Amino acid sequence: MRRRRLLGLSLELLLLPLAAAAAVMAGRQRSLDRGPAERVVPRPARGGAGCHGEVIASDPAGTPLGLSSRCPHLGCRVDRVQDGELVCPCHGSRFALDGALRQGPAAEGLQRLSCAPTPDGARLTIRLPG
């Protein structure tokens, strides 16, 4: 009986990594099936910007932009427009409305995201990274 139990445990230990790998692959396939996530947000006025959770809609010069709201410094969410700049509340990094770095501690600007106006032109569809 001991030998049978030992063989059973050995087989379980061999199959466990295979089952884990299959579960990971199934999860990846489900995320691929969903496609990239998008957010539809109000289009800001020319020269303005709006913070909408994980995205920022901006229009610094008549061309709408989509930006990630994740600050490249430590990942805090940039959540406000102050004096014509996007401001990170955690450590004070400041960004131009086109996402360019104006003041650190961040070492680079905000990530640009794919962005397109909706057919009515009143909103923007911003594609999330990933």
The number of beta carbons lying within 10 Å of the beta carbon of residue 67 is: 24
List, for residues 3-61, the tens digit of each pLDDT value. 666 666 665 656 555 555 555 555 555 445 555 699 999 999 999 999 999 999 999 98
Start-to-end CA distance of the chain, whole Å, equals: 52
Please state whether the predicted TM-score (pTM) of the whole model is above 0.75. no
List, for residues 61-95, the tens digit of each pLDDT value. 889 999 999 999 999 999 999 999 999 999 999 99
Q: What token pair was written down for 80? A: 């406000």
Can you give the CATH number for the domain in which 48 is found? 2.102.10.10
Q: Which of 104, 112, 124 is nearest to 70 (CA)?
A: 112
Domain encompassing residue 25: 1-35
What whole-number distance in Å separates Cα of residue 112 and Cα of residue 98? Answer: 8
Q: Are residue 79 and residue 100 in the same domain, yes or no?
A: yes
